[in-house]
A and B are shown apart, each in its own frame.
Chain A
C-alpha cells in the first residue's frame, strides 16, 4: 500500500518544483529590473574616482553596457540555460569560479548551524514545555527573549569579546581562509559564526516548539496515553513530538531561508567569505551576471528548503497526506 504515498510526495515535489522554476524566473527578472534602476553602472563602479568621461566611454564599449537592457538580460539568461552562468563584468573571471567557493562556505555554515543549533533548540523547547510554568521554563524563556531582542552583530561582538579578545583568547576572532582552501581545513574559525547563528535562530525555534508541544501535551489523546501508562519518553517522543513538530519545521525552514541570505551581518563581523558578502560586492560594482547568479542561488535554496519542509510536514501529518491523495 506504499505506492500512493510515494506518488503523493512525487506529485507534491514536481508541482512545487515547477512553481519554483517559475518563481526563479520572475525573481531574476525583478532583480535585473532593480539593477537597472540603481544609480550608476558597472563602468562607473569599477573606475570609481578615476571615472573620467573618456575612460567611462571606453569601458562601457568594452563591456557592452550600451546595449539595450533586454538584450543584456537575454544574453545572460541564454548563457545560464546552456549551463554557463557567464563572466563577471568587473574582473573578467567566470562567475561560477567566483561564487562557487562562497556558496559552499555558506552551505557548510548553514549545515553546521542545522547540526548543532537546531537539535538543542528543539530539545530545550520540549524541556520547557514539560516544565511549563516552573522556574527552569521561565529562565530559558527569558534567555530566549533576550537573544531574540539582541541584533545579530551584538551577539557576534559579544562572543568575540568573550572568547577571542578581551576575556579569553581561545578562538580566532575572524574567519579568514585562504582562497582555494576549504573552510573545513580550519574548524576553529567556524566555531564563533556557528555559535552566533545558532543563538540567533534559537529563540524562534525554541518558542514555537515550546508552544506547540504545550498544546499537544494538554490534548485529550496525550491524557489518554498517559492514563494508559506509557513511559514519559515514549509519550513525548513517539506521540507528542510528531504531532507538535509540524509548525516548528515550518519555522526552521523559514529560519534557514532567512539565514541563507541574512548572514551578511555575521559575515561582516567575522570577515567570513560567504555568499552575503559576495552579493554586497556584486551590487556595489553593479556586476549584473554575478548579482543574478547569487540571487538565483539564494532563491533556489529558499524554494528547495520550502519544498523539503512541506514534504516533512506532510509526512508527519496524516491528515494532509490523505488530502493530497484525494485532490491531486
Chain B
C-alpha cells in the first residue's frame, strides 16, 4: 500500500511493540527524569488491580457494541479490540487488521485480518467474524450505538475472500473508514455467534464475572496474540455513588485506582505520598452547543459573538482547576489534518458589535447544563459571568441527567455536551452532518456537506487534508460549537501502580492501557 495516498495508518506505526519499545526508551531518558527511570524496572507479574469508576448502575453492560457509561467503556476495552484503534497519542494504528486498503474511489475496501489471533473461547479469528461483527453493529432492526458509522457499508454484500481477507463494498465513497471505526469500545471484533451474555473478544483480559452496578472481574488471557498483561486479574468497581467514598477507599487501600477523579484532588494528594495522580493529555472536550437553526443562534453573528466573549484561559483555570488546553472552536486537535492556524481570542468589542448588528443587544438566553463530566456545570457558570461583559445575560439552568438526555436531548437551543477524542472525519460523521446521530447543533451547511463528500472520495492524503482544512474553516467561522477547552482528566492511584502513561484520547488510565500496568 502506498502510505501517501490513503487514510489508512502508515506502515511505520503498525509495529506497535517496536514503536513502544523505542519511544519508551526515549521517553525514559528525555522526559521522565532520573527518579522515574529508577522506577522503570522490569515489570512484575501478577496481582489483582482494583479500579473504581463512578457513573455505573444497573444498566452496566459488557456488550461489545453498546457501551454508554464511562465504566462500560473501560470494561469493554479490557475485553475487546478493533481492527484499528487510536493509540495513546490519538494516532490511528492497526490492531486486529494487518491492512485496510481502498480502491481508487474508496468505494470498496479490502481488509486483511491478523493471523493467529485467538478469541477467549479458543476459536481463531477470521474474516467471517469481522463480517458478522459489522452486520451486528449495523443491524437495521437493532442498531448498535455506532451503527451510523457503518451506514456507507453495503452490509448485504460483504465478501469473505479467504480466511483472512474481507472485501467491503460501500454504497458511497468512504475514505475515512479506518478512522471511523477506530473507537474500539464501539467496534470490537467478536466471534460469529457472539452472545453478550458470554462476552468473548480478543483482548488481553477475558471475562470472569460481572454484576451490574457493582463490579466486573477479568483474568489475564493466556493466549493473547500480543504481549501479555502483567496483572493476573483486573477488577472494575462501579458501585461507588460519591467521589468521597471512592477517594476514601483509595486512601484505605480498598482500591488501587480511582479513575476520572475530581481535578481538585490532585493538589490535595501532593507529591511523593502514598497516592499519585496520572494527568492525561488534553483529549476530552465539553463544548457549548448552539443550535444554528433556532433563534437567536440562527444568526451567525450571534454565534460568533458568543465565541468571542469567552475568556478561554480563565474558564480553564476556574472550571477545570487549570487542567486543560485552550480550544479554538474546532475539534480533533491530534488529527494530522487539524488546522492549528485557526485561533480565537476574546474580543468583547467585536462581540458587542456583532450583537448590535444582529439586533440582539441586551440578549438573554438560557443555558442548559448537567453534571455529566468534571467542570461542566462550573464552565456554564463562568461563561455566564463572562457574557455579562458583552451585555449578554446567560441564565444557567442545571438539570439532572434524565432530563438532559430526555425528550429534549439533541434539541436544546443552548446547552453543553461531552466527547472523547475522535479523528476529524470520524467526529464529523458523529455530529456535524445532516444524518449524524448526534448533531446537537443542527449544523447543516451545503458547502460543508459537499466538501465532506469530496473528502470521503479522496484517497490522496495531502489532497484530503486540504479539503479538511476548508471544512474546519467553515466550522470555525460559522459552526454551532463553542469549544473553549480540551480537558485533561485525572486518575489517582496508589504509588505502587506502575506502567501507565498519559494518553490524549480523553479516556482515562492511559487510554485503558490495562495490559501495561504492573504492581510494584
**Is the CB of A50 closer than 8 A to any CB of chain B?**
yes
The residues in B between 32 and 70 inclusive whose CB is less than 8 angstroms from any CB of A are: 57-61, 66, 68-69
Contact B58 A271 (CB under 8 A): no
Tell me the smallest distance from the CB of B183 to a CB of chain A, in Å.
12
Report which of B59, B142, B212, B252 forms a contact with A164, defined as CB distance below 8 A: B252
Residues of A within 8 A of B227 (CB): none
Tell me the smallest distance from the CB of B207 to a CB of chain A, in Å.
14
**Is the CB of B407 closer than 8 A to any CB of chain A?**
yes
Tell me the smallest distance from the CB of A28 to a CB of chain B, in Å.
20
Report which of A40, A55, A169, A269 forms a contact with B244, defined as CB distance below 8 A: A269
In this complex, what residue of B is CB-closest to A54? B143
Residues of A within 8 A of B407 (CB): 39-40
The residues in B between 218 and 251 inclusive whose CB is less than 8 angstroms from any CB of A are: 237, 239-242, 244-246, 248-249, 251
Residues of B within 8 A of A40 (CB): 402-403, 405-407
Contact B58 A174 (CB under 8 A): no
Residues of B within 8 A of A285 (CB): 57-59
The residues in A between 104 and 131 inclusive whose CB is less than 8 angstroms from any CB of B are: none
Residues of A within 8 A of B57 (CB): 281, 284-285
Residues of A within 8 A of B145 (CB): 50, 55
Closest 4 CB pairs of A and B: A173-B248, A179-B211, A173-B252, A174-B249
Known A48-B69, A54-B147, A281-B213; judge A91-B252 contact (CB<8 A).
Answer: no
Known A98-B58, A176-B249, A281-B58; judge A48-B405 contact (CB<8 A).
Answer: yes
A-B contact pairs, 20 of them (CB 8 A): A38-B402, A39-B406, A39-B407, A40-B407, A46-B68, A48-B405, A51-B405, A58-B141, A88-B58, A90-B212, A164-B248, A169-B252, A173-B249, A179-B211, A267-B241, A268-B241, A269-B245, A277-B241, A282-B58, A290-B58
Report which of A90, A160, A172, A273 forms a contact with B214, defined as CB distance below 8 A: A273
Residues of B within 8 A of A93 (CB): 212
User: Majority SS of interface residues in chain B?
Assistant: loop
Contact A271 B402 (CB under 8 A): no
The residues in A between 204 and 224 inclusive whose CB is less than 8 angstroms from any CB of B are: none
The residues in A between 151 and 199 inclusive whose CB is less than 8 angstroms from any CB of B are: 157, 160, 164-165, 169, 172-174, 176, 178-180
In this complex, what residue of B is CB-closest to A62? B142
Contact B241 A280 (CB under 8 A): yes
Report which of B212, B213, B252, B401 forms a contact with A174, defined as CB distance below 8 A: B252
Known A44-B406, A46-B68, A284-B57; judge A270-B245 contact (CB<8 A).
Answer: yes
Contact B215 A178 (CB under 8 A): yes
Contact B406 A160 (CB under 8 A): no
Report A96-107 CB contacts with B as 1/0, cut-off 8 Å: 001000000000
Residues of B within 8 A of A173 (CB): 245, 248-249, 251-252, 254
**Is the CB of A287 closer than 8 A to any CB of chain B?**
yes
**Is the CB of A148 closer than 8 A to any CB of chain B?**
no
**Is the CB of B28 closer than 8 A to any CB of chain A?**
no
User: Majority SS of interface residues in chain A?
Assistant: helix
Q: A46-B68, A174-B240 are in contact. List 14 more A-B contacts (CB 8 A).
A: A38-B402, A39-B402, A39-B403, A40-B405, A40-B406, A50-B68, A54-B147, A55-B147, A88-B58, A91-B59, A169-B252, A173-B251, A267-B241, A269-B242
**Is the CB of A52 closer than 8 A to any CB of chain B?**
yes
A45 to B213, CA, bound (A): 14
Contact B254 A91 (CB under 8 A): no
**Is the CB of A47 closer than 8 A to any CB of chain B?**
yes
Contact A50 B58 (CB under 8 A): no
Contact A58 B239 (CB under 8 A): no
Tell me the smallest distance from the CB of A266 to a CB of chain B, in Å.
11
**Is the CB of A49 closer than 8 A to any CB of chain B?**
yes
**Is the CB of B2 closer than 8 A to any CB of chain A?**
no
**Is the CB of B209 closer than 8 A to any CB of chain A?**
yes
Identify the interface centre among A47, A91, A269, A273: most chain B CB within 10 Å of its CB: A91
Tell me the smallest distance from the CB of B252 to a CB of chain A, in Å.
4
Tell me the smallest distance from the CB of B399 to a CB of chain A, in Å.
10
**Is the CB of B437 closer than 8 A to any CB of chain A?**
yes
Contact A51 B409 (CB under 8 A): yes
Q: Which positions in A face B, CB cutoff 8 Å? A: 38-40, 44-52, 54-55, 58, 62, 88, 90-91, 93, 98, 157, 160, 164-165, 169, 172-174, 176, 178-180, 267-271, 273, 277-278, 280-282, 284-285, 287, 290
Report B453-473 CB contacts with A as 1/0, cut-off 8 Å: 000000000000000000000
In this complex, what residue of A is CB-closest to B235? A178
Report which of A44, A52, A174 forms a contact with B402, defined as CB distance below 8 A: A44
Residues of B within 8 A of A157 (CB): 244
The residues in B between 379 and 406 inclusive whose CB is less than 8 angstroms from any CB of A are: 401-403, 405-406
Contact B214 A179 (CB under 8 A): yes
Residues of B within 8 A of A49 (CB): 68, 405, 438
A285 to B61, CA, bound (A): 13
Tell me the smallest distance from the CB of B49 to a CB of chain A, in Å.
15
A88 to B213, CA, bound (A): 13
Contact B402 A273 (CB under 8 A): no
Known A179-B211, A282-B58, A285-B59; judge A268-B245 contact (CB<8 A).
Answer: yes
Contact B405 A271 (CB under 8 A): no
Contact A271 B68 (CB under 8 A): no
Known A39-B406, A58-B141, A179-B215; judge A90-B58 contact (CB<8 A).
Answer: yes
A39 to B401, CA, bound (A): 11
Residues of B within 8 A of A38 (CB): 402
Contact A47 B252 (CB under 8 A): no
In this complex, what residue of B is CB-closest to A176? B254
Residues of B within 8 A of A45 (CB): 59, 402
Tell me the smallest distance from the CB of B59 to a CB of chain A, in Å.
5
Contact B58 A58 (CB under 8 A): no
Residues of B within 8 A of A48 (CB): 59, 68-69, 401, 405
A62 to B211, CA, bound (A): 22
Contact A284 B249 (CB under 8 A): no
Contact B239 A271 (CB under 8 A): yes
Identify the interface centre among A38, A40, A49, A268: most chain B CB within 10 Å of its CB: A49
Known A157-B244, A280-B241; judge A90-B405 contact (CB<8 A).
Answer: no
In this complex, what residue of A is CB-closest to B210? A179
A48 to B401, CA, bound (A): 8
Known A44-B405, A48-B405, A54-B147; judge A165-B251 contact (CB<8 A).
Answer: yes
Residues of B within 8 A of A176 (CB): 237, 239, 249, 254-255
In this complex, what residue of A is CB-closest to B212? A91
In this complex, what residue of A is CB-closest to B215? A179
Contact A58 B142 (CB under 8 A): yes
Tell me the smallest distance from the CB of B144 to a CB of chain A, in Å.
8
Residues of A within 8 A of B215 (CB): 178-179
